[in-house]
A and B are shown apart, each in its own frame.
Chain A
Amino acid sequence: MKEYQISDQLLIKNYRKGNEACFEMLLNRHKSRVFTTIYLIVNDRYIAEDIFQEAFIKVIKTIKSEKYTEEGKFLPWLLTIARNLAVDYFRRKQKMPMITNSSGEDIFATLPVYEENREEKLINEQKEGIVRELIKLLPEDQREVLVLRHYGELSFKEIADMTNVSINTALGRMRYAIQNLRKLITEKEISLR
């Protein structure tokens, strides 16, 4: 049996008419892609949850205030909102002064938070954890294109539009990201098979 998928456009149309279930479908349809993208930019599960909520609340407000005009391009629009919020956070964080201990380490990174350590331990036991760690090591512009293309599933054209660069620049960043990942995998002798 072929499954019929209601378009995002139709769900938004009915949501505007007050059908909350339609928004829930949109949320469930796109939650993983959006959350994975945010997480891989900010590298923090709790911050990612906050930004995820903020992005969808922004979406709700825009749709309900009748300001939504991106008919047929809901996901790129949603990912643009999420990406901008994540990048804003990331840049703010980089400007924040780091509080170090006597060894020069960031004290917040070394605080013994039980839940986080346990989670980190579990993550690091899996290949996914290794891949995430490698992605974190990429320069910001390369990581962004890789995350938006591979996990956000946006086209290179959509990424180029979103980040205000040419499609060749977006492709070039992806190329460097792949080359750097390959180098890291080789250097660290990581087996991901």
Chain B
Amino acid sequence: MISNFTQNDLIQFIYGEADKNLEDEIKSALNSDVMLFETYCQILDTVNSLENFKLNPDNTSLRIIMEESTIIQGESLVN
């Protein structure tokens, strides 16, 4: 079976943004459409390779921001 889903549909599906109908249709089609399944695996593989690494700012930046927050509050009290 060849389905009519676009790569955009699959991307929305992978990121959990497809609406319920689209999600159900894609899930069902993935069981029967070999080409679609292959495309889905390729996209998913690339997305997974991005990994969910997170970088953190330096503590100095956090300190500066918190100090600034206090200063700005001080200014507003004076005014």
Residues of A within 8 A of B (CB): 18, 20, 23-24, 27-28, 31-33, 35-36, 39, 48-49, 52-53, 56-57, 60-61, 64-65, 127-128, 131, 135, 146, 149-151, 155-156, 168, 171-172, 174-175, 178, 181-182, 185, 192-193
Instruction: Report the minimum CB–CB distance from A27 to chain B (whole Å).
Output: 6
Q: Which 6 A-B pairs have the closest CB atoms?
A: A32-B54, A171-B8, A192-B49, A35-B57, A128-B53, A56-B65
Q: How far is the CA of A60 from the CA of B54 in the complex (A)?
A: 24
Residues of B within 8 A of A127 (CB): 51
Residues of A within 8 A of B57 (CB): 31, 35, 48-49, 52
- Chief secondary structure at chain B's binding surface: helix
Q: How far is the CA of A57 from the CA of B72 in the complex (A)?
A: 9
User: B11–A60 contact, CB under 8 A?
Assistant: no
Q: Is B7 an interface residue (CB 8 A)?
A: yes
* Contacts known (A20-B70, A171-B8); A178 close to B47, Cβ less than 8 A: yes
Q: How far is the CA of A33 from the CA of B49 in the complex (A)?
A: 18
Residues of A within 8 A of B65 (CB): 27, 53, 56-57, 60
19 further contact pairs, Cβ within 8 A, besides A56-B68, A178-B43: A18-B73, A20-B66, A23-B69, A32-B55, A36-B54, A53-B61, A53-B65, A56-B65, A57-B68, A57-B72, A150-B47, A150-B50, A171-B12, A175-B7, A175-B11, A178-B11, A181-B46, A181-B50, A182-B45
